[in-house]
């Protein structure tokens, strides 16, 4: 399994790898070591440090990643490789085709900024799709999508064929661990955001919405921004966060390992992302806890929220409409309860980790005997 970083593997793919190990597969994880490899190794999985810059586009770095994967596949001779994320699909797919790896799983977990140009594809994007077309165009390749928007691009550009397509609604969630919890009965209404501090995730829009609401809601609302800074070129700076977060009305919590507890102590999930998401894990977690969601009518996000049922969809990059949606939920506890219950029902129907694991084990089995 090839993943950008160890922490992403732990948050999004660990249950799949452990289920495959339990099913009898010899599982190795290749990822950039950001200091958490010991957590992966302690679970009984072999770890391989992957030289990759998850957000960079330096040609020398990209060639280094490709050469490493070629050497790795030549040495390991895997029966199946599972690439997670666009960059790993790109270079891992090429390496797998050149080395003749018999089984390939490519998991498209969102297309990111390169595909944010609407219907217009840049020369770089078209080149990436062309390389993936080359690596996918063979027997023994399955491609897993999380939303229909991404699937439509790949089918339209002939990167995949219909028979190669698989589908899961996100990475799944353990519904026994993330259980519905009643919202806190007193204090301010907590509005939580959980994601990397990247502009396209809607951080600045949420801050602007909070500032619009402050004159009327300063004592009634609290905004909790949970997530780490990132070297991504669209990353929010620490100076911006410290300038706009006062620690009482708008609070920047940084990277946390107690997201479930934070969700349990919140009332509303606000996630105004216009990034090309897969299906955001933050929204799946909020759904499982039973929280109403305010998010954008954008790729991936709309796959979690039905407008007016378990949350409110707003236009991307519209801080005023975002503020109105948050205010309407802050003012109406009955609506929060109703939408929160609908969120949990949707999580049980669509996002159970057991279903996601079973889909992957079926794919692995089919590729093992293909």
Kindly indicate the confidence band of residue 218, based on its pLDDT and cuts at 50, 70 and 90: very high
Kindly report the CATH number that applies to the domain delimited by 2-172+352-368: 3.40.50.2000
Q: Is the pTM of this model over 0.85?
A: yes
pLDDT tens digits for range 288-309: 999 999 999 999 999 999 999 9
Domain ranges of the chain: 2-172+352-368, 189-350
Phi/psi region, residue 271 (left: phi>0; alpha: psi -120 to 50; beta: rest), is beta
- DSSP assignment of 173-216 equals B-TTTS---PPPSSSSEEEEEES--BGGGTHHHHHHHHHHHHHH
Cβ(128)–Cβ(90) below 8 Å? yes
pLDDT tens digits for range 22-41: 999 999 999 999 999 999 99
pLDDT of 90 over the 60 cut? yes
Q: Within a 13 Å sphere around the CA of 367, how many CA atoms are in the beta-carbon half?
A: 26
Question: Average pLDDT in the 193-215 region?
Answer: 96
As given in the structure block, the two tokens for residue 363 are 């794919």
Q: What is the reported pLDDT for 55?
A: 79
Tell me how crowded residue 347 is: count the other CB atoms within 10 A of its CB: 26
Question: Average pLDDT in the 247-265 region?
Answer: 96
> Computed from CA positions of residues 248, 184, 286, 331, in that sequence, does the dihedral angle turn out positive or negative?
negative
Kindly indicate the confidence band of residue 276, based on its pLDDT and cuts at 50, 70 and 90: confident
Q: What is the reported pLDDT for 117?
A: 55
Q: What is the reported pLDDT for 229?
A: 93
pLDDT of 116 over the 90 cut? no
**2-172+352-368 and 189-350 have identical folds:** yes
pLDDT of 120 over the 70 cut? yes
Question: Average pLDDT in the 175-179 region?
Answer: 97
pLDDT of 164 over the 90 cut? yes
Q: What is the reported pLDDT for 340?
A: 98
- Domain 189-350: what homologous superfamily? Glycogen Phosphorylase B; (3.40.50.2000)
Average pLDDT, the chain: 94
Cα 282 to chain centroid distance, Å, stands at 8
Distance CA 140, CA 105 (A): 9
Q: Which of 41, 39, 60, 61 is nearest to 51 (CA)?
A: 61
Q: Within a 13 Å sphere around the CA of 31, how many CA atoms are in the beta-carbon half?
A: 30
Q: What is the reported pLDDT for 118?
A: 54
pLDDT tens digits for range 49-77: 999 998 788 899 999 999 999 999 999 99
Q: What is the reported pLDDT for 114?
A: 65
Q: What is the reported pLDDT for 121?
A: 75
């Amino acid at each position: 399994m090839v993943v950008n970083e160890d922490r992403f593997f732990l948050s999004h793919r660990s249950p799949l790898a452990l289920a495959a190990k339990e099913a009898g597969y010899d599982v190795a994880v290749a990822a950039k070591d950001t200091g958490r490899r010991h957590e992966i190794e302690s679970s009984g999985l072999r770890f391989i440090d992957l030289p990759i810059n998850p957000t960079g586009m330096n040609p020398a770095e990209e060639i280094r990643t490709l050469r490493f994967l070629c050497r790795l596949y030549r040495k390991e001779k895997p029966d199946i490789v599972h690439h997670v994320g666009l960059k790993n699909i790109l270079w891992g797919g090429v390496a797998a085709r050149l080395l003749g790896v018999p089984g390939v799983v490519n998991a498209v977990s969102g297309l990111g900024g390169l595909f944010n140009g609407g219907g217009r594809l840049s020369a770089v994007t078209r080149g990436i799709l062309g390389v993936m077309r080359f690596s996918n165009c063979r027997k023994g390749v399955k491609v897993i999508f999380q939303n229909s928007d991404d699937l439509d691009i790949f089918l339209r550009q002939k990167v995949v064929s219909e028979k190669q397509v698989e589908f899961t609604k996100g990475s799944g969630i353990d519904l026994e661990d993330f259980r519905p919890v009643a919202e806190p009965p007193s204090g301010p209404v907590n509005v939580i955001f959980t994601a990397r501090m990247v502009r396209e995730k809607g951080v600045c829009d949420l801050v602007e919405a909070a500032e619009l609401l402050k004159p009327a809601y300063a004592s009634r609302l609290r905004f909790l921004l949970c997530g780490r800074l990132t070297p991504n070129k669209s990353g929010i700076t620490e100076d911006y966060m410290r300038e706009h977060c006062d620690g009482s009305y708008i609070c920047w919590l940084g990277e946390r390992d107690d997201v479930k507890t934070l969700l349990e102590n919140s009332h509303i999930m606000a996630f105004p992302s216009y990034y090309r998401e897969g299906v955001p894990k933050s929204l799946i977690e909020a759904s499982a806890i039973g929280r109403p969601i305010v998010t954008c009518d954008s790729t991936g996000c709309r796959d979690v929220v039905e407008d007016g049922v378990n949350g409110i969809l707003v236009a991307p990059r519209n801080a005023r409409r975002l503020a109105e949606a948050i205010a309407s939920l802050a003012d109406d506890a009955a609506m929060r309860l109703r939408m929160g219950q609908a969120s949990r029902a949707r999580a049980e129907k669509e996002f159970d980790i057991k279903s996601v694991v079973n889909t992957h084990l079926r794919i692995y089995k089919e590729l093992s005997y293909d």
